[in-house]
Amino acid sequence: MRILVLALLLGVTLDSLAASGRVFVTNEKGDSVSVIDTKTNQVVKTIAIGKRPRGIGLAPDGSAIYVAVSGENHIAVLDPATLEVKGSFPSGDDPEAFAVHKNGNIYISNENDAKASVIDPHTGKLVTEIEVGIEPEGVAISPDGTRAIVTSESTNMLHIIAIPEHTVVNSILVGARPRSATFSADGKLAYATSEIGGEVK
Partner 1 sequence: MKSIPTTFQAPSRWLTHLLIVLLATLATSPTWAATPVTVRIAFIGPADGDAHAGAQQGIKEANAQGKFLGLAYQLVASADIGAARAAKASAVVVDADAAALPAIAAAAPELPVLNVRAEDDALRTQCVGNLFHTIPSQAMRSDALAQWHKKQPGSQATAQAWHASAELYAGSQLNKRYSDASGRAMNDQAWAAWAAVKLVSDTVARLHASEPVGLLGALRKDLAFDGQKGVDMSFRDNGQLRQPLLLVENGKIVGEAPVRGIAPNSDLDSLGNTACAK
Residues that bind partner 1 (CB under 8 A): 1, 111-112, 114, 133-135, 147, 149, 153-160, 168-179, 189-201
Residues pairing with 23 in the sheet: 36
Cβ distance to partner 1 smaller for residue 85 or 99: 99
Cβ distance to partner 1 smaller for residue 22 or 159: 159
Closest approach of partner 1 to the CB of residue 157, in Å: 6
- Gap between the Cα atoms of 25 and 9, Å rounded: 10
Q: How many CB atoms neighbour CB 91 within 10 A?
A: 26
Cβ distance to partner 1 smaller for residue 72 or 135: 135
Closest approach of partner 1 to the CB of residue 57, in Å: 21
Cβ distance to partner 1 smaller for residue 39 or 201: 201
Q: Where are the alpha helices (DSSP H) in 32-158?
A: none
- Gap between the Cα atoms of 46 and 193, Å rounded: 30
Closest approach of partner 1 to the CB of residue 151, in Å: 10
Closest approach of partner 1 to the CB of residue 9, in Å: 14
User: Three-class SS string for 62-94?
Assistant: CCCEEEEEHHHCEEEEECCCCCCEEEEEECCCC
Residue 164: what are its φ and ψ, rounded to 5°? -95, 5
